[in-house]
Amino acid sequence: MTRGGRGSFALLADGRRAEVPAHPATVVDTVGAGDAYMSGLLAALHQHHLMGADRRGDLRAIDEPTVTAILAFAARVAAITVGRAGANLPHLKEVAPVS
């Protein structure tokens, strides 16, 4: 769940909560912030080989450090986007790699 300036969190299968703060940003325009976050989330899931129906078991078993890294990556993507006018998402090379 994204919460704007209050960061985001995800619930793990065992009920634990992984949480990250919002990445610092000077806000120019919030258009596209949610799409940017979701794009970053999907890119990070892909980088961790957690995309696709055959990976559902791995996704259910994801550990807290991995979820936190994925959320932090998505937050960086959104922060870069809101620092620009328009829905101008960053290229992957502009965002630090997923841990």
The residue assigned the tokens 């080989």 is: 49
- Ranges of beta strands (E only) in the chain are 8-11, 17-20
The model's pLDDT over 2-51, given as tens digits with 9 standing for 90+, comes to 998 899 999 999 999 999 999 899 999 999 999 999 999 999 999 999 99
Instruction: Tell me the pLDDT band of 97, cut-offs 50, 70 and 90.
Output: low
CA dihedral 84, 37, 1, 5 (to 10 degrees): -20
Amino acid code (one letter) for 58? D
Rounded Cα–Cα distance for residues 11 and 77 (Å)? 21
The model's pLDDT over 52-80, given as tens digits with 9 standing for 90+, comes to 999 999 999 999 999 999 999 999 999 99
Rounded Cα–Cα distance for residues 82 and 80 (Å)? 6
Instruction: Tell me the pLDDT band of 98, cut-offs 50, 70 and 90.
Output: low
Q: What's the pTM value of the predicted model, to 2 decimals?
A: 0.91
